[in-house]
Amino acid sequence: MSGLSGGTRVGDPVTAPVPPSTSTIARLGRLRGLTREFGPVYALLTGALVAARWLPQRIDDALLEIEGRRGVLGPAHRRWNEHSVSANRRVWSTWDWSAAGEEWTASEQWKASLIEELLVPAVKGSTTILEIGPGAGRFSETLHDLAGRLILVDITDTTLELCRERLGDPSDVTYVLSDGASLRGVDTGSVDAVWSFDAFVHVAPIDVDQYLGEIRRVLAPDGVAVIHHAGRRQRQGWRSPMTATLFAALASQHGLTVQRQVDSWGGNGRYGLSLHGDVISELRRLP
């Protein structure tokens, strides 16, 4: 289960900013037009203004790429605030959940294979399962069927209420409102398995780091965590800056062993996460 493969993702919440034009010819044409109309100084200053807006973004991307490749949570990652808790809370509390999160499902076969090959083998037999960022409960019903107890953690009351509408309020389900970087309210060593899909791809690196420490805290010895996260630096799909190497390094620093990292599944990599370069990491807390 490795290597990039097919599989698609649609409906991501935010389109990242891009330079005014990716065509050098088009930019030169505009500058020539400005030169004719307003003179060379005006055209030069306009070009400088465009560069001043575009260049910092490209420099940041280069710094993030270097840190990510080396597996270091350096200054560029630490100052990243585009995927802050407040930004995520604003996006997901106002999101149109009428499709219940299935707008990000490439196909029913894609989802069924993901559940069968990655979710069920990891969490089956777990007494207590914790899901981080369930959204509208896209995977929660399956987890509920497998768990003796299910804990759902999200950053908005909106999504927790959607999950409550889907699952009801049985005694074996607990709903926890998160502060966006911790698992407060979940007892230390009380969880056998953690599942998270389509949540960590939108979490700022410093918050990912804190979450990994919390996952280590709540997991019982030999407990497992299966986390879907960004695997390479890119701005499309509103992905936070994270790489497979950096995620593994942070997990290791918190005492979690990386069992495997995959980006495809389904026999010969039929299904996968290639569009945005995402990765699913399976982590284990050793006894």
Which band of pLDDT confidence, cut at 50, 70 and 90, is reported for residue 70?
Answer: very high
User: How far apart are alpha carbons 99 and 121 in whole angstroms?
Assistant: 27
> What pLDDT score was predicted for residue 44?
84
Q: How far is CA 67 from CA 54, 62, 74, in A?
A: 21, 9, 6
Specify the higher pLDDT residue, 158 or 12.
158
Q: Does residue 18 have a pLDDT over 60?
A: no
Domain end residue (candidates: 43, 61, 78): 78
User: How far apart are alpha carbons 106 and 125 in whole angstroms?
Assistant: 28
Q: What's the CATH number where 262 sits?
A: 3.40.50.150
Residue 140 lies in a domain: yes
Q: Are strands 257-262 and 278-284 parallel, antiparallel or unpaired?
A: antiparallel
> What pLDDT score was predicted for residue 59?
87
> What pLDDT score was predicted for residue 131?
98
If asked whether residues 44 and 184 sit together in one domain, one would say: no
Collapsing DSSP to helix, strand or coil, 228 comes out as strand
Residue 98 lies in a domain: yes
Which band of pLDDT confidence, cut at 50, 70 and 90, is reported for residue 7?
Answer: very low
User: How far apart are alpha carbons 182 and 82 in whole angstroms?
Assistant: 19
> What pLDDT score was predicted for residue 41?
86
Residue 4 lies in a domain: no
> What pLDDT score was predicted for residue 237?
80
Q: Does residue 66 have a pLDDT over 90?
A: yes
If asked whether residues 95 and 183 sit together in one domain, one would say: yes
> What pLDDT score was predicted for residue 24?
52
> What pLDDT score was predicted for residue 28?
62
If asked whether residues 185 and 249 sit together in one domain, one would say: yes
- Read out DSSP for 124-173? TT-SEEEEE--TTTTTHHHHHHH-SEEEEEES-HHHHHHHHHHH---TTE
How many structural domains does the chain have? 2
Quick one: what percent of the chain has pLDDT higher than 70?
90
User: How far apart are alpha carbons 243 and 192 in whole angstroms?
Assistant: 26
Residue 158 lies in a domain: yes
Residue 267 lies in a domain: yes
If asked whether residues 127 and 167 sit together in one domain, one would say: yes
Domain end residue (candidates: 37, 53, 78): 78
Residue 14 lies in a domain: no
Q: Does residue 243 have a pLDDT over 60?
A: yes
Specify the higher pLDDT residue, 8 or 180.
180
Mean pLDDT of 6-17: 36
User: How far apart are alpha carbons 121 and 116 in whole angstroms?
Assistant: 7
Residue 229 lies in a domain: yes
**Domain residue limits at 177:** 85-284
If asked whether residues 108 and 136 sit together in one domain, one would say: yes
User: How far apart are alpha carbons 56 and 37 in whole angstroms?
Assistant: 29
Lowest mean per-residue pLDDT among 20-34, 77-91, 146-160: 20-34
Q: Share the mean pLDDT of the chain.
A: 88
If asked whether residues 141 and 239 sit together in one domain, one would say: yes
Helix-, strand-, coil-residue percentages of the chain, each rounded to 5? 45, 20, 35
Question: What digits encode the pLDDT tens for the residues 96-118?
Answer: 999 999 999 999 999 999 999 99
If asked whether residues 161 and 98 sit together in one domain, one would say: yes
> What pLDDT score was predicted for residue 27?
64
If asked whether residues 129 and 166 sit together in one domain, one would say: yes
If asked whether residues 129 and 265 sit together in one domain, one would say: yes
If asked whether residues 186 and 47 sit together in one domain, one would say: no
Q: Does residue 42 have a pLDDT over 50?
A: yes
Residue 56 lies in a domain: yes
User: How far apart are alpha carbons 94 and 107 in whole angstroms?
Assistant: 25
| Residue 156 burial (C-beta neighbours within 10 Å; 0-12, 13-18, 19+) | buried
Q: Does residue 13 have a pLDDT over 50?
A: no
Q: Does residue 6 have a pLDDT over 70?
A: no
Question: What digits encode the pLDDT tens for the residues 205-215?
Answer: 999 999 999 99
If asked whether residues 74 and 107 sit together in one domain, one would say: no
Q: At what angle do helices 40-70 and 244-253 cross, to 10 degrees?
A: 50
